[in-house]
Structure 1
Amino acid sequence: MLGLRVIKVGGAELEVAAWLERLAMGIRAVRPAVVVHGGGRRISAWQERLGLKVEKVDGVRVTPPEVADVAHMVLSGPTQADLVRALRAHGVEAVGVSGAEGYLTVELVDPARMGRVGRVTGVDVEGLRRLLASGFTPVIAPASADEHGAAVNVNADEAAAAVASALGALELLFVSDVPGILHDGRVLPFISAEAVEDLVARDVITDGMVAKVVAARQSNVARVRIGDLRMLTNPDGGTLVAVAAVGAAA
């Protein structure tokens, strides 16, 4: 679809009404769009409430079966419902779907080390295109399932990259609470593959930002940017990330 953008959102901002209104305004400005959402803070809060250890490796949650169930409950439940409701209230015809409903096909990556963490091996491109063609904005919860229906946790950044690549998106936008990748207190307008590796090795890029740059580089999208909501209305906003391979834009 011409001009399609995939927008990944997450973080505490998902619970801020004013931020959600600005997100809706931005989506209206760049449609057609597909939204992929995280919900890591809520998942961690529920883990702590239930006495489950919170552990991450390079920004990706270690997910034993009980944590996978919590992630499904949080992502496909209140997190998605709140986001869809807010977008619809501000003029975006959003519809919530999830990986577990068949929109994402996944496989486990390293069960011994990471538990029920999966990578995306397939995307229901036709299903998403039908929603887009009908005027809807799909909002995807990355919570997925294996061939037996058991819960699989997929990092939202990786899911967004896979969806953008499969749909041949014009642009993949990782929306965060910072204006871009920061170095010495300043936003980098562009970052090369070599610079990404160097900054990760020197712990300049850390925590959740690591997952974003890894997902960005593994995508097959012409333009990948990391930044805040201003990217939706400013084509030069955020940090433009060099990708491993570039495919044709839709």
Structure 2
Amino acid sequence: MQTLKIIKIGGQIIEDKKALKSFLKDFSELKGPKILIHGGGLEASKFSERLSIKVSKIDGRRITDAETLEVTVMTYAGLINKNIVARLQGFDCNALGFTGADANTILSEKRATSPIDFGFVGDIVQVNTKVLETLMNEKVTPVFCAITHDKKGQLLNTNADTLASELAIAFSKIYNTELYFCFEKNGVLTDVTDENSVVKELNYGSYQHLLKEGKVADGMIPKLDNCFRAIDHKVSKVCIGTSELIKNSLVTHTKIIK
């Protein structure tokens, strides 16, 4: 079975032009089928502040009202996504930008308003792999931003880690699927101030222990929840670390295990 690499980038990698350029060069050189998913929450927050739109989060998840959704779509699907696609083309990687609405690839439903009203946030209910598989067979690389749709004309903000995890799960029926979460840290840290405190291997029990001790918080919680969902649904490999991870598997990182 052929291996598909699904890589999600976020955090300060997107903010740092030099780091992003280096990552995209390394990504473009990966052999075989691959999919890139990007976040952009920091950039979206900056634009919201410029427009005097309040940014609200609960447990690391963004509250998306109508105004915030407009900013998110413009930032994720427009500015960030198209800049990444253009840079990949510059590295001879034939990329194509996607939201979940494009070719009906990722269908979501608006999250229930109870117990917390997250606004226009979508929970993924279906991933349609056929078009993406066809494109990858033609050496086209899909680049997804974290926007999905409900097939009723409504775009929805969706957690990028969740989107990456659900893509990996859907494709695990077709490929040997590997999932990589890349950001500015070396992996899951027991002390956020110490880059050397990396947990080399993390199982669910150890994760729950870190949660109880308060050593895992904010955006790392949904990230790890998605990691364990992926590893429990036949994704063959799930890793968290810096962008160096995609070209050198020996660099320090966290591997998610059962």
TM-score by length of 2: 0.88
Structure 1 counterpart of 2:203, which letter?
S
Task: Tell me if structure 1 keeps the 8 A contact 2:6–2:179.
Answer: yes
CA distance in 2, matches of 1:30, 1:207: 34
Superposed counterparts of 1:18-37, under 5 Å: 18-27=18-27, 28-37=29-38
Partner SS state of residue 109, structure 2: strand
Partner Cα separation in structure 2 for residue 56 and residue 161 of structure 1: 21
Name the counterpart of 1:111. 113
What is the DSSP-based 3-state SS (H/G/I as helix, E as strand, rest coil) of the residue aligned with 1:105?
strand
Q: 1:30 to 1:194 in 2, by over 3 A?
A: farther
SS of structure 1 residue aligned to 2:93: coil
Contact 1:99/1:143 (8 A) holds in 2: yes
* Match of residue 61 from structure 1: 62
Work out the CA distance in 2 between the residues paired with 1:228 and 1:62: 27
Select which of 231, 236, 239 maps to 1:222.
Answer: 236
Q: Which residue number corresponds to residue 173 of structure 1?
A: 180
SS at match of 1:72: helix
The gaps in structure 1 that reach 5 residues or longer are 244-250
The equivalences for 1:1-250 within 5 A come to: 2-27=2-27, 28-101=29-102, 102-112=104-114, 113=116, 114-168=118-172, 169-184=176-191, 185=194, 186-219=197-230, 220=233, 221-237=235-251, 238-242=253-257
CA RMSD, aligned part only?
1.7
Structure 2 residue ranges without an equivalent (≥5): none
**Cα distance change on mapping 1:208 and 1:98 into 2, 3 Å:** same
Question: Is this contact kept in 2: 1:170–1:223, CA < 8 A?
Answer: yes
Number of residue pairs matched?
Answer: 243
Shift of 1:236: 4.1
Secondary structure of the corresponding residue to residue 178 of structure 1: coil
Q: Which stretches of structure 1, 4 residues or more, deviate above 6 A after TM superposition?
A: none
Q: What does the per-residue CA deviation read over 1:106-128, in whole Å, with 9 as the maximum and x for residues that have no partner?
A: 01223342111111111120011
Q: Which amino acid in structure 1 is aligned with residue 17 of structure 2?
A: A
TM-score (norm 1): 0.91
Q: Name the SS of the counterpart of 2:3 in structure 1.
A: coil
What secondary structure is seen at the aligned counterpart in 2 of 1:196? helix
Report the Cα offset of residue 148 of structure 1: 2.1
SS of the equivalent of 1:43 reads: helix
Question: Displacement, 1:227?
Answer: 0.4
Q: What is the distance in 2 between the residues matched to 1:17 and 1:131?
A: 28
CA distance in 2 between counterparts of 1:182 and 1:12 reads 17
Tell me the SS of whatever aligns to 1:213: helix
Deviation, structure 1 residue 47? 1.7
Asked if the contact 1:8/1:173 (under 8 Å) is kept, the reply is: yes
Native 8 Å contact 2:171 2:177 kept in 1: no
User: Would the aligned equivalents of 1:24 and 1:92 in 2 still touch at CA under 8 Å?
Assistant: no
| 1:172 to partner: Cα distance | 0.4
Q: Percent identity?
A: 29
